[in-house]
Amino acid sequence: PRKAGMERADLLQANGAIFSEQGAALAASAASDLRVVVTGNPANTNAYIAYRNAPGVPRERFTALTRLDQNRAAAQLAAKARCRVGDVTRMTIWGNHSATQYPDAFNARIRGMAADRWIADDAWINFDFIPRVAKRGAEVIAARGLSSAASAANATIEHARDWLRGTPAGDWVSMGVPSDGSYGVPDGLVSSFPVTCAGGDWSIVRGLPLSAFARAKIDASVAELQAEAVEVAALGLLP
């Protein structure tokens, strides 16, 4: 588990070997309808390691948890808007489950209105909301000395529920999934996207508008994912 002073990169070598073994074990013995949610950090790259070590298992069966980030982002928007968290929909986390992630207030909705229009404070969004969500994990660790395990467990349950039972009509959720090249994210990288779910499968939401600011944020997070992929390959964790 992550402790005070640790970044996700510090966990790559320690946890990466676990996920290469788990991927191989799943390929050898798991049920044909398995669904995998990776919560252990660095979650995106651990999911990448796992599916790369699971030949014969469709890579779409492997996901990484970014629902905790989504929940944190929705809570921040709701607090600013003085509304219920349930009033916040279409909350997207882009990129890595790390401090480089991009929580997208511009495609989110508050009671059906674009969240940035409702908030009407771009400075707050850019310089308070985004870094607060991105660094919330470290903030929790600094406050209590340990990670937010209960919140992560609850988010994992919500992730699995929506994946298996489907997302509400007109809404989507955030999941770390293997990219198919959408939004310029290189094929195969496990990056967080907006997704809808039906019948136990997920689909990336297409065609969302992205500003130059958003594009730069996403590109920076994807660059971090690419660097992590290079590192785990150098560590011999990929077949």
User: Which CATH number do you get for residue 219?
Assistant: 3.90.110.10
Q: Are residues 202 and 93 in the same domain?
A: yes
Q: Are residues 111 and 148 in the same domain?
A: yes
Same domain, 205 and 110: yes
One domain, residues 213 and 134 = yes
Domain count, the chain: 2
Model confidence, pTM: 0.94
What single-letter amino acid sits at 223? Answer: A
164 with 116, same domain: the answer is yes
Of the residues 64, 82, 103, which one is the last residue of a structural domain?
64
17: CB partners within 8 A, 6+ apart? 237
Provide the token pair at 17. Answer: 């070997």
Verify that 52 and 86 share a domain, yes or no: no
Indicate which residues carry an active-site annotation: 97
Residues 6+ apart with CB under 8 A from 52: 23, 238, 239
- pLDDT tens per residue across all 239 residues of the chain: 566 666 656 678 788 899 999 999 999 999 999 999 999 889 999 999 999 999 999 999 999 999 999 999 999 999 999 999 999 999 999 999 999 999 999 999 999 999 999 999 999 999 999 999 998 766 776 777 767 788 999 999 999 999 999 999 999 999 999 999 999 999 999 999 999 999 999 999 999 999 999 999 999 999 999 999 999 999 899 99
Last residue of a domain, which of 64, 80, 104? 64
Same domain assignment for residues 141 and 36 = no
Whether residue 102 sits in one domain with residue 206: yes
Q: Going by DSSP bridges, is the β-strand pair 36-38/62-64 parallel, antiparallel, or unpaired?
A: parallel
Residues 47 and 125 in one domain: no
Tell me, yes or no, whether 75 and 33 share the same domain: no
Range of the domain at 154: 67-226
